[in-house]
């Protein structure tokens, strides 16, 4: 058994690529399946209205130049 990718033969490389491809497809399918079950409908209860206008005349923050 080869423990290095440099000395591995062609079939070993093919197995690694196949496993990586299957894992990538599984992760993508899981992400699409979980996103499809989310309800994105909005109602009026989620609306945030602006409050009173605030004017800042002075600040105690130091200016960095």
Considering only residues 41 and 30, tell me which one the structure prediction assigns the higher pLDDT. Answer: 30
Q: Does residue 60 form part of some domain?
A: no
The 10 Å Cβ neighbour count of residue 12 is 13
Q: Does residue 43 form part of some domain?
A: no
Mean of pLDDT over the chain: 78
pLDDT at 29 over 80: yes
Q: How far is CA 44 from the centre of its chain?
A: 28
Q: Does residue 56 form part of some domain?
A: no
User: Are 42 and 34 spatial neighbours (Cβ–Cβ below 8 Å)?
Assistant: no
Domain count, the chain: 1
Range of the domain at 13: 8-36
Is pTM beyond 0.75? Reply is no
Average pLDDT over residues 32-54: 71
Q: Does residue 16 form part of some domain?
A: yes
Q: Does residue 46 form part of some domain?
A: no
Q: Does residue 2 form part of some domain?
A: no
Read off φ and ψ for residue 10, nearest 5 degrees. -65, -40
């Amino acid at each position: 058994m080869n423990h290095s990718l440099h000395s591995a033969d062609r079939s070993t490389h093919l197995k690694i690529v196949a496993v990586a491809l299957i894992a990538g497809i599984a992760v993508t399918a899981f992400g699409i399946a979980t996103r499809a079950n989310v309800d994105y409908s909005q109602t009026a209860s989620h609306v945030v209205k602006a409050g009173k206008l605030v004017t800042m005349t002075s600040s105690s923050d130091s200016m960095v130049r």
